[in-house]
Amino acid sequence: MVRIIHICPYLVILFLTCFCLPFSPSHLSFVALLSQVPVLSSILVLVLVAIFFLIILITLWRKKPHYEVRWKVIESVSVDCHHYTYIDPGCLPYDSAWEIPRDSIVLGKVLGLGAFGRVVEANISGLTGPDSTTKVAVKMVKQNNSSVQSLMSELKVLVHLGPHLNVVNLLGACTTPTGPVYVITEFCHHGDLLNYLHKNKHTFLQTDAQTESDGGYMDMSEEKNTQYVAMKTINSTQIEPTVYETPYPSLDETFLLLDDSSALSHNDLLSFSYQIAQAMDFLSSKNCVHRDLAARNALVCEGKLVKICDFGLARDLTKDQNYIARGNNFLPLKWMAPESVFKSVYSSQSDVWSYGILLWEIFSLGESPYPDIPRTRDFYSALRRGYRMTCPDHTPQTVYNLMTECWMEKPEARPSFTSVVSTFRNMMSDDYNKRYVRMTEEFLKGQNPAAIRFRAGQTHESPISEDKVRLLEVGPEEAGPSCSS
């Protein structure tokens, strides 16, 4: 830039000599023009500086991180499995039957706020019936073109997938130009799994310590200090109905997967792991890649029912230490597989690696992965060396063995999610497995708004198998050509 400024006077003289002299009436007029060289040089310098800074601003704007849907639908895979083509979600169909009238939505408190948008609690009237009220979560973005397009892409991906018991399901949307775009999903009462583990960690440690010290028996000497209160008998007419906010219209224990106590046990941790594996097996069966599987992106409902989601919109990624800015994206490096970190290759097998990190989060009761490697550059070198995390306290050896299998260097050496589901099913009790299958049947046949809306567009349903529960999987869907092809 300095060199350009130095040669500006010479450029001006050359310009005057070549273009102005032939049209000058006399040599004196040319001399007069030469006297204006300093002024013209200054103007030229200012123009060049302005152009220079304009180029810098455009470059920075292009590199500025923007909101994008993390979930991707795979269209095709190369023979060597090293290259994936993804469907442009903008090409996926959207049925206007998902539209919900804006005047039936009453927005409430903000559940999460991020750099690109927010998630708000809301109540919708008439979603499941004329007199019904349903508590939901509403996603919305700041009104710029790229963010709105990304939210529409997320909406179309959710429509494409269909509902699942362990996915935060789509309930509807508002996409009319009369207002901002709303994507309306299920509301999960207990928030994200990471904070749930943090909040209830002490109950697990107390239970675990008591089990080790007394074999799990209750200390009956404490009973003498217990005061009992007689229960008041009431009839059903005295019970006020509550708004619908769970996958089931009743909180009867027959509809709960586990008890709704805040106390955590080993069975709870196994159940969380099993449910998330079920959700990821479903996504894998739909050729969908999550790309941000972590405890912060799993939500907890009543009865410790867990649902996966993409909650990045409600998180300020610029201040979240779990995400590193790279180009115009924020990446969850410590949850990413080596091929994703170094080659930007994402697949169901890279999700399996992330699932192994998620298992470590669950059984460490919400600790941050790679606690011994705080710096990003150290993480890169450790990953290249083949470093793997050690077994968290209170983790069964079988579960840690599964973690290490998920962290195999070669993607094809990692287990499939179908295999992971089978492994955890064998760890669960027969009663638990029966409850889970019964819940999936109730999910399909009951009053869940997501299932009701999906059933309305289906001509037939797939049978539910206890050996392999993949909800609403009616066979592989044909993926149409991407917009880029």
For residue 292, indicate whether it is catalytic: yes
C-alpha distances (whole Å) from 56 to each of 23, 67, 114, 328 are 38, 22, 27, 15
* CA separation for the pair 102, 125 (Å, rounded): 10
Helix (H) or strand (E) holding 440: helix 430-445
What distance in Å separates the CA atoms of residue 71 and residue 153, rounded to the nearest whole number? 10
3-state SS record for 223-290: HHHCCCCCCCCCCHHHCCCCCECCCCCCCCHHHCCCCCCCCCCHHHHHHHHHHHHHHHHHHHHCCEEC
Q: What are the binding residues? A: 84, 112-119, 139, 186-192, 296-297, 310
Which of 7-15's residues contact partners 24+ apart within 8 Å by CB, and which partners?
A: 8/41, 8/44, 8/45, 8/48, 9/37, 9/38, 9/41, 11/44, 12/37, 12/40, 12/41, 12/44, 13/37
**Comparing C-alpha atoms, which of 109, 89, 81, 85 is closest to residue 310?**
89
372: tokens are 């011994």
Binding site per annotation, positions for Mg(2+): 84, 297, 310
Q: Which sign does the torsion angle of CA 336, 339, 344, 348 carry?
A: negative
Sheet holding 170-174, edge to edge: 105-113, 117-125, 133-141, 182-186, 170-174
Report whether 188 contacts 307 (CB < 8 A).
Answer: yes
User: Which of 107, 438, 75, 78 has its CA nearest to residue 286?
Assistant: 75
**243 closest CA partner among 129, 353, 164:** 129
Q: State how far the Cα of 266 lies from the Cα of 258, in Å rounded to an integer.
A: 12
- Do the Cβ atoms of 169 and 333 come closer than 8 Å? no
Catalytic pick from 88, 268, 281, 292? 292
Q: 483 in helix, strand or coil?
A: coil
Task: Scan for tokens 């589901």, then name that residue.
Answer: 421
Enumerate the active-site residues: 292
